[in-house]
Chain A
């Protein structure tokens, strides 16, 4: 191994932490890898793969328990400061000082890194230009949008030119627009400064842009190579299946994902289903599964290979998170004919905070049994809209009707008809699973035998252990508990706020399987998400920006509105938001 050409060299490196239940968890479980200099390298893997632990070890913030770790030719454990003087590290949540202005934050980090005054002017100008923050130098960092904060974090990380740049999930929770900007900056840096960059990410399209990719799961290295080489592993296994007219793609997708012995992965995309079959799939059974769909081979993508590696590793280490069996429940008062009557009616909904209009005159309907997605960049007003819909925030004006009840006059009653799953785990961590379910059941008016029966049914349905302490459950099970709680009182409508952020791709597939099954059972689903590809699971979506609804319709209609029905959802989203902004600017210029 050539020391000069490698930035990071690991040999059998291990790092264990104390688990929440008192045991130990190997976050990094004997990894050997060599990361080359002058390249953009990606560490990809689901949550809990060990990416952040690795990054923190590279930065000298954690000592490996065993094995060796050299960064830029130095043993990090022995001389962390020597390494830290030469690297820049941007953690997932960068430590910006929210009360300081953009400029003051930059000055502060330049002071901390001892950047000489004469270099600063040139460096700052360059960073501000790249991040497009020059207009906002006087604004407090706390008042920036999520995407801008992330860009400022990057600028502060780069107040000096390091030998190695470490970016830990820089695009987590950042909307596609800001994500694209962020990557443009990184690209420029690599091209202009021949910087070595290591980035960790859960997005495959980001990994695709890297020269070299390391795939990790549960502290183990599953594969490494150039994206092209990794992709080849799925060659010949990837297809697009087009369901017959009138069948939603997600129905076909649900059928496919329910057969893991034949199908590695299936996701709805552009009205079709993208699938990867098992290499040893039985052709007859495969045909039966796909039966009336039109199947075409498609070129393999990195994501296919990634899912394949992951599924294989999961099969070996643990039983995969099985999708939750959902009992189809005939929705009350809905014969097939009346299901077109909207269950949510929103008319001219407005929400102002002071003189800031967070949601401007928004109108839409949602029909029973529909999956309705609210999409938008950070700060677009989707969270505000969402909170008004579930009665957490009063509207400034407008009409809001949920399950036939006016949310302004019959709030408590309307709330009884909805279920709510918060973005982060929002149940009582000190209480057991059963205590949580019993409390929320009681709050929704369930008592005695009825309560007991519903709790027992939920426990089996979601595969939950009643005596487990809720706060110590693994992330996937926490979400199951949150779902179980939201569904305990058998609501007509289930509200889900970014339910899939921070859960790994396998769990995400299982989660969406539950959602589609619920919708089939007649439950209406309102969901916000920043994973644009998840819009494909929705019957209809609304894209919001700056408080206004820019697009409303089926994913197909939205893609058409964006200009090309075949484009992927991320691009459609970006196109629509940019069109919307251009129109808005145009109108402002005219006025």
Chain B
């Protein structure tokens, strides 16, 4: 009992020192809160796949009523803005190349005539493929407007799709992206914080002073990991609160489950960060390794692109990526209100990564030789 109290007291001394060092410095104090807040707002407003502004050019060779009506419907969406009215097909290339228009709509001269004679009337849409995702979205949008127009002319389609998007009724990409930020933004910070912690001490020579104390590698590990996990959870909370109260994305799950998942995930991130840190001799090295890791961690996480669309081999690689499972867990708990049994499998790889990286870091503290 006495021995345990002693053990904990020594570990606590280190935790206290780590927190003090973190909070003493004004710039690092700022770093704890400002980036998470700023990035959440940036992502919320900046990173959206939803179409809000599509400039287009029109070449109306038909001059008929059908073209006018279709264009009116297009303008009525509020998304499509006419950038130019062209007079010859030669002008299309210039408009697209300069980027003044994202797409050009070409009504052939016989457009009205063909409609009147109940023939199929082709309508040409030229898209700027340099921005493929926006172009695809815009063309799908036009297709749906055309379909609606067809319907209004009484051309009943053979099949009609009625869609209901669950968990995100308006299919806003913000709803998809932002809950994932609760995991990914805090990962960036905790990874960097953990990666610098041991490397900074090595660079400044304080690590030797720490190693000559009777603290065991496990105690050092706990002392280094707890403050970093704590900071990670604070960051997650900041993102969570901004999403919930500022962007008003409704939370449908259990806060406890969310935080249990985040705790395990942050421990895994800290494990990766501390391993990187224990491997580095200087802060510069630690920084470099972290940047090298962050890109694949984000790309293979399903944050921006679905994991299911990746080649088989990359999909396998995502199993080593804690962020993938954290994002899955957070999205499902947040949007669909998943319970523990629904996301239990997400915990397995998260615990796996933590169980490998944390002991590895502890071992490296003493066995990484200068």
Residues of chain A having any CB pair with chain B under 8 Å: 353, 390-393, 412-413, 415-416, 418, 420, 422-431, 435, 438-445, 447, 485, 495
Contact = CB atoms under 8 A, between A and B. Distances in A.
B342 interface: no
Nearest to A430: B24
A111 B119 CA distance: 80
B16 interface: yes
B21 A431 contact: yes
Contacts of B211: 391-392
Interface stretch (B212-220, B304-312, B343-351): B212-220
The winner among A426, A429, A495 for most chain B CB atoms within 10 A is: A426
B292 to A, nearest CB: 21
B206 A426 contact: yes
Contact of A431 (B17, B205, B214): B17
10 contacts: A422-B208, A426-B206, A430-B21, A431-B17, A435-B20, A439-B13, A442-B16, A443-B10, A443-B213, A447-B6
Contacts of A430: 21, 24-25
Contacts of A422: 205, 208-209
Contact of B215 (A390, A420, A426, A443): A443
B214 to A, nearest CB: 4
A425 B214 contact: no
Interface in B1-25: 6, 9-10, 12-14, 16-17, 20-21, 24-25
A392 B16 CA distance: 24
B204 interface: yes
Contacts of B20: 431, 435, 439
A412 B216 CA distance: 7
Given A391-B212, A415-B212, A442-B13, 5 more contacts: A425-B205, A426-B205, A443-B14, A445-B214, A447-B9
Contacts of A418: 212
Interface in B59-98: none
B13 A438 contact: yes
A443 B290 CA distance: 29
A424 B16 contact: no
Contacts of B10: 442-445
B213 A428 contact: no
B22 to A, nearest CB: 9
Contact of B21 (A428, A440, A445): A428
Contacts of B12: 442
Nearest to A418: B212
B158 interface: no
A443 B210 contact: yes
Contacts of A390: 212
A564 B193 CA distance: 58
A413 B215 CA distance: 9
B165 interface: no
A418 B208 CA distance: 13
A527 B174 CA distance: 63
B369 interface: yes
B200 to A, nearest CB: 10
Given A393-B369, A442-B9, A428 B14 contact: no
Contacts of B205: 422-426
B171 to A, nearest CB: 49
Interface in B161-215: 204-206, 208-215
The winner among B6, B24, B209 for most chain A CB atoms within 10 A is: B209
Interface size class of B (residues with CB under 8 A): 20 to 34
Contact of B209 (A353, A420, A445, A447): A420
A424 B202 CA distance: 12
B208 A445 contact: no
A526 B213 CA distance: 17
A436 to B, nearest CB: 8
A441 B215 CA distance: 11
A275 B81 CA distance: 94
Nearest to B28: A430
A447 B6 CA distance: 9
B365 to A, nearest CB: 11
A495 B14 CA distance: 22
Nearest to A353: B369
Contacts of A427: 206, 209
Nearest to B17: A439
Contacts of A435: 17, 20
B6 A445 contact: yes
A429 B204 contact: yes
B213 A440 contact: yes
A285 to B, nearest CB: 43
Contacts of A353: 369
Contacts of B215: 412, 443
A28 to B, nearest CB: 29
The winner among B9, B13, B205 for most chain A CB atoms within 10 A is: B13
A230 B206 CA distance: 43
A420 B212 contact: yes
A304 B214 CA distance: 44
A501 to B, nearest CB: 14
Contacts of B204: 426, 429
B208 A415 contact: no
A424 B9 CA distance: 28
A392 B21 contact: no
Contacts of A412: 214-216
A416 B12 CA distance: 17
Contact of A439 (B16, B212, B216): B16
A416 B213 CA distance: 6
Nearest to A438: B13
Contacts of B25: 430
Interface string B92-109: 000000000000000000
B61 to A, nearest CB: 68
Nearest to B209: A426
A422 to B, nearest CB: 6
Interface string B24-64: 11000000000000000000000000000000000000000
A447 B216 CA distance: 18
A444 B13 CA distance: 10
Contacts of A425: 205
B68 to A, nearest CB: 70
B214 A420 contact: no
B212 A413 contact: no
A501 B235 CA distance: 44
A542 B324 CA distance: 58
Nearest to A469: B24
